[in-house]
Chains A and B, each alone.
Chain A
């Protein structure tokens, strides 16, 4: 186990999340995929922090954690609003938010 293995894992996880983000039409599925991607990035912070010896990476990871929670809360609120106006949660309907 070394830095490269961690980076490989996180890039794999990021790509999995990206695939989900690009293929899902359901807004909840997209939010789940974004969570996966954010946490892949978080793994990079923690891994670099461990292998460069600087503890600040963990602080960044904490902030990313808070950030993703805020993002989920607002995202799910948007899903609720979308569902209330269209009885569905497909993202292409969200173009109606422009009006």
Chain B
């Protein structure tokens, strides 16, 4: 009990500081891609830039728009962070250790990811602003649509490993093979499908139509100021970091690696996936809303169903046992 509580506190601290680092890392990465230097004045190589950003946000006045639903407006941003952090509790950190181990871990992670959409919608609706509401409706539609291919892609490692326990999946990969690499046919496409669906669930480019600046000002965050805005912004980064960690647990072997298996491998893989996600973000353009839905329902969902069928067929061959 005490161990779990202290582990939970440690995970919260690690995830939040990783998120702060990720903010800096993303800005540096984006700057390099655009042949700029990026933040460089606050601390060594601009490392304390997120701290400066935080101080700036804290100082700002918090404005509640007239006509807004005050309770929901105030409640939504902290809830986004809590739900985004909750999914981190189920990530296996090193062999046999996670804050919460559950035999339905995969469902828990996806469930909390889907739950994160509720406060986003609350924020958009409570803002009493048409851009915020449009952004919120888009976020909800996108989340419920891409939840289907996300679950289907997550079912592939579940079927291959024969368990829904995230640590069990990692252990199977440690003793057999990483699902992102082998079996190559259900594995690699499922990994790509998982990444796409996860990008859409966390509203990242090329799927960031809920906050499309050119048409919706800033989506659900339009009316938010100061730390309340900071919470929503933070939650998106936490979502991406945790999503990358879960992707690496389910398809890249999590803590498994050559030499000493442990937390460092998980962090390294998460960093690689995170870099990949932000590489996409600063390279591709945004899809249109109708293209987004077409991609999901006409391509990704049938592909996911096919992959589930193929992984069941692979299990029947018995080659991985």
Direct contact of A and B (CB under 8 A): no
Q: Which residues of B contact A (CB under 8 A)?
A: none
Q: Which residues of A contact B (CB under 8 A)?
A: none
